[in-house]
Structure 1
Amino acid sequence: MMKRYDLAADFSDAPFGRYLDDGRNSGERFREKFLYPWLKDALDRNELVEIDLDHVPLGIGSSFLEESFGGLVRKGLISKQDVLKVLRIKSDEDSSYITEIMEYIQDAKPEEQPVNHA
């Protein structure tokens, strides 16, 4: 089974920025409040998730996409393998988004956790 989500309808038709400080339509907020829960649920249920990027009239910036999708792996929320197993991207209006997102996921490396010497 596949759950389908529309970025414009389910999050914002004006996604913008990387961090929460950039506003409520940032990649960080999308990742934490929407994308991660959707993917986690899909992994738990052995389902697929499709994110439809069409219907965003002004386009989607690379900082939003990298923080949202690459950030999943970088922040250690989900392994690269698990993201690629359950995530599908639909973008009929601009297929370059699909390539860009897959590159961000592939290139992401989990951040090293600071060592606590206490």
Structure 2
Amino acid sequence: MNNPNEANISVGEFSKTPYGRYDKDGKYNASAFRDTRLAPAFRNPEITRVNVFLDTVEEGYEYGSSFLEEAFVGLVRECSISVEDIRRKLNIITTHNDYVLEINDYLDHI
């Protein structure tokens, strides 16, 4: 049973091959992912955990640093969501720990 206080966000439901930072980079860019999927979940006061499933994209796909930085740090820069709120709610689910480390490093250096 799903917890009503959790948001489950599958990147693969957004795109099997998300790419780029901005709209000019294509339809499935980080800004669009952030604005349509991540920001609404983080802004919702009833949501206490945002589970982001990274491994739902095309097999063998590798995330670009621009996508990860814009999607997660953009929450602070563009959406005025605090780093503290992001850290408190964010749960990155992936078998690739390097993505978790990369996202946390970006959040450490805002």
Bin of the TM-score, shorter chain as denominator length: 0.7 to 0.9
Q: Distance in 1 between matches of 2:35 and 2:46?
A: 19
Question: Considering only CA atoms, is the larger Rg found in Structure 1 or Structure 2?
Answer: 1
Q: TM-score, normalised by structure 2?
A: 0.87
Identify unmatched segments of 5+ residues in structure 2.
Answer: none
Q: Which amino acid in the other structure matches residue 4 of structure 1?
A: N
Name the structure 2 match of 1:112: none
Q: Deviations over 1:64-95 (max 9, x none)?
A: 00000011112252011111111110111x11
Distance 1:12 1:77 in 2: 25
Counting aligned pairs with the same residue, the percent is 36
* 1:52 paired residue number: 53
For 1:73-92, list aligned pairs within 5 A. Answer: 73-92=76-95
Preserved CA contact (<8 Å) 1:18 1:64: yes
- Please, what TM-score do these two structures have when normalized by structure 1? 0.81
Counterparts of residues 1-118 of structure 1 (less than 5 Å): 1-9=5-13, 11-41=14-44, 44-56=45-57, 57=59, 58-92=61-95, 94-108=96-110
In structure 2, relative to structure 1, the CA distance for the partners of 1:97 and 1:16 (3 Å cut) is: same
Contact (CA 8 Å) 2:6, 2:47: kept in 1 or not? no
The answer to whether the 8 A contact 2:49-2:90 is kept is yes
User: Is the 1:54–1:91 contact (alpha carbons within 8 Å) kept by the matching residues of 2?
Assistant: yes
Amino acid in the other structure paired with 1:36: A
What RMSD over aligned residues (CA atoms) do the two structures have, in Å? 1.3
Amino acid at match of 2:11: L
Unaligned runs of 5+ in 1: 109-118
2:63 & 2:27 partners in 1: Cα distance?
A: 15
State the alpha-carbon separation in 2 of the partners of residues 25 and 69 from structure 1.
15
How many residues align structurally?
104
